[in-house]
Each structure stands twice: as structure tokens, then as C-alpha cells.
Amino acid sequence: MASSTPSEPALRREMGLRDVALLAIACMTASRWIPAAAHAGPGSVPLWILGALFFVIPMAVTLSALVVKNPCAGGFYQWTRDDFGPWHGFLCFWVYWMGLAFWFPTASMFYMRMGLYALGPEFAKIGDNRAALLTIALAAIWIALISNMVGVRVGKWTENIGGGANWILVGLLVATAFLVWRVRGGATPLHILPKWDWGTVNLWAAIAYGLSGLEMASLMGAEIHDPKRNLPRAGWIASIFLCLFYVAGTVAMLVILKPDKISEMTGVAEVGDSAGLLLHAAWLSPLLALLVLASGVGQIGGIGTTISRLPFAAGVDRLLPNAFARVHPRWGTPHLSILALGIVASFLLLVFQVGDSMRAAYDSLVSIMVITGFLPYIYIFGSGWKAKRRISAICGWGITLMAIVCAVVPTEAVSNLWVFEGKLAAGTLAVIGTAWLVYRRSARGVSGKTIIG
């Protein structure tokens, strides 16, 4: 019997092309960014297209080259470690992992609040109650993570349903917009040239972040059948859908409502209510809510599953406690890594509520999520440069820098600039500082061969 490789102790290959493509779609597409883009007006449409051209396609090209070179569990952690050394690999993993830990609170708050608003006024009151919303958001995080903890064979259906819900959601929005346009015409003149406005600069970072996520599928390399063939194919399928999803969804919302009538957090519900009233379809808003909730749970589960493989790979390299390198004897998953993610995400959800309104706290979480989420792309495209994908690396680095700079610009909901910027600075420094402390402590316990690697 052939033994498992050191990096893949007992992970099971249970994902085919369909599963990987739907996983990538569930991780990359997020209905939460569509109302944010629609709120900024039709000028956001070319930003989606430019982002796809200069970020998504370069990322697909880069990952295709890197996956063929090394299809492993841990994906870009392994590539960064091999190309730049163990410390850089660990820093890339840690910052990315923490960036996604910041993502979980923002995603759960958005999806749960939007769903509550779409279900009617009585439920909307719950969405405006901070304690109630935080409780529901925490429950959503843990339901999605636990479903994936019991095994990819079970958990992958969360992502499959979430990815499928995205297809239905954007199709329903487009069909609804067409019917509204036939009845009374479009609500917004589609002048698509981007408009410079300090109030929308932060949105540019959100749009760039909305186009990220393709690299997550690479983290499942040890659990995919024929990853050298299926990962690149799934990446291209997901990239095409990503562009269509955001452009079609944004235009559809602008046909139904004017930008100033679309809230960034509850816009899908507002569009459903408006179109439902015009078309005499009271069922439309609850159906949209159900689809958004399904896509949200799928995305939370998909991202939770993929990034749990990062602590697993670092644990195998003994840069984290050995417990992170273990897989559950029955479920075959790195269950402790998934538990750790849930605990950190829950803590961040609560601590970032201090000193701000609920909306300002949400914006702070989004900004630090973008900053920490994009820092690892410096390494990913650096590995792409070494893999001779030079044009892709330059494009990717450009979008990465733009996103980080735009993320520090406060939104209109921020009333206390110093609190906002202080949270961003403290959060970013804490993420990098803890990476250094954990790495140095762990490095003392491993051999010189592993450290220099």
C-alpha cells in the first residue's frame, strides 16, 4: 500500500470538475457586492469588466501555471514557501487566513440582515437590533462550518447549493429587470463611464475584493480528482461566470431602482419589494431572500472549508501545533483548523462592534478584510512571476496595490475618522505581529532543515 505524502496525511480525493467549479463560484461570487456597486451607479459596471480583465484573468493564468507545478493541499502557502522561504510562506498563510477570518463577520452580518429585511417589516426590526443580528450571524457561521467539518462528501453540497443559488439569483434579477423595463422603462440612465467621487473610492476596493477568491480552490488540491486538469478548467468556468454575474446583477438592479434608493446592505430586498409591487408579485422578495441566504451559507461553508487547509498545511510543517495537522479519524477533515477559524471569526465579529455604529463597524471590518486579504496576492503573483507569467503578475500587483490604498479611505457612514483609521492600523499590525510571534516560537521547535527549507 502506498503511503500518503507528508503534506497530505489522510485527505480524501472526493471532488470532481463540477464540484470544484461550483466551489470556486460559491467562493468568488457574492450577492453582497451587487447592491454596493448599484448604489454607486452605472459607473461601477466598467469597473467590474476592468477588474475581470486585469485581475481575474491574470489570476486564472497564474494559478493554472502554479497548480500544474505543484497541486497540493495548502496551495499558495506551499508555493510561497517553496519560492520565497518558510517565513514568507507562513506570513502569506497567516495574513490570508486572518483576512478571511475578518471576512466571516462581514458576510454573515450582510446575508442575515438582508434576508431578514426581505422577509418583511417584522423581521426587519430584528435586523436592526444589534444583539439579535449578532446572534443570528454567529449561528450562520457555525452552521456552515460544522456542515463542512463532518466531511467534504457532506459539506460540498453546501457549496454546490450555494453556487447553484447564485446562478438562479442572477437569472431571476435579470428576468425581473426585463419585465420592469417593459412595464415602465429603466429607473436609471445607464451612463457607464466611471465617475470620480471620494465617497466611492472605498467601493473600488470592495469591487476588487468581490473579484477575488479563485485561489481558494487551489487549497483543495489534495482532495480533487486529477487536480492538474480539473483545477485550471474549473478556474476558467468560474471566471466567466463571475464577470457575467456581477455585470448582469448590477445592471438589473439599476433598471429596477435608482442608485440612491438602493442600500449597500439591504439593496436586494429593496429591489425585490419595488419590482414585486410593480409586477404584482409579492413572492419575489422572499424568493430573492431565500436565494441570497442559500448563496451566503454556501460561500461561508466553501471559504471555511478551503482556508481550513492552510493551518493544516502549516501544522504538517510544524509551524503550528501538531493538532492542526490531524484529520478526524471518521470524517477525514482537519476539524481543529475549522474550529479555530470559527472561534477567531466569532471573536472578531464581537470586538469590532466597540466604539462605532453597527454600519460603521461593518465598514471597518470590510476595509481591514480587504487590506489583509490582498497582502498575500503580492506573494501569489510573485510566484507567478517566477513561473514566467510576467504580464499576469504585473496586472495582479497593480490591482492589489490599488485595492489596499482605496480600502483606507473612509466611507460616508464613518463619523469618527480616528476610530476608523485606528482600527485599520491596529488590526493590520496585530495580524502581522502575531504572525511573527507565532512563527518565531514555532521555528525554535523544528529542525534547521525545515526552517531554511
Q: What is the pLDDT of residues 292-337, one digit of tens each?
A: 878 777 777 667 666 666 677 677 777 777 777 677 666 666 777 7
Average pLDDT, the chain: 78
Confidence of residue 451 (pLDDT cuts 50, 70, 90): very low
Give the rounded distance of the alpha carbon of 104 from its chain centre.
8
* Model pLDDT, residue 123: 77
- How far is 298 from 300, CA to CA, in rounded Å? 6
* Model pLDDT, residue 382: 94
pLDDT over 70, % of the chain: 78
> Looking at the predicted structure, is the pLDDT value of residue 426 above 90?
no
> Nine-digit cell at 79?
508555493
Q: Would you say 158 and 142 are in contact if contact means Cβ atoms under 8 Å apart?
A: no
pLDDT higher for 278 or 112? 278
**Interval 4-21 mean pLDDT:** 61
Q: Would you say 221 and 310 are in contact if contact means Cβ atoms under 8 Å apart?
A: no
> Looking at the predicted structure, is the pLDDT value of residue 204 above 50?
yes
* Model pLDDT, residue 257: 93
Question: What tens digit of pLDDT does each residue of 63-118 get?
Answer: 878 877 776 656 777 888 889 988 898 898 889 888 878 887 777 877 788 777 77
Amino acid at 327: V
Instruction: Give ∠ CA 142-148-153 in degrees, rounded to 5.
Output: 160
Amino acid at 328: H
Question: What tens digit of pLDDT does each residue of 118-155 get?
Answer: 777 777 788 777 788 888 888 877 877 776 666 555 55
- How far is 129 from 384, CA to CA, in rounded Å? 46
- The domain defined by 17-452 folds into Amino acid/polyamine transporter I (1.20.1740)
pLDDT higher for 398 or 229? 398
Give the rounded distance of the alpha carbon of 193 from its chain centre.
27
Strand partners, 220: 73
Amino acid at 419: V
> Looking at the predicted structure, is the pLDDT value of residue 1 above 50?
no
Q: Would you say 76 and 342 are in contact if contact means Cβ atoms under 8 Å apart?
A: no
0.85 cut: is pTM over it? no
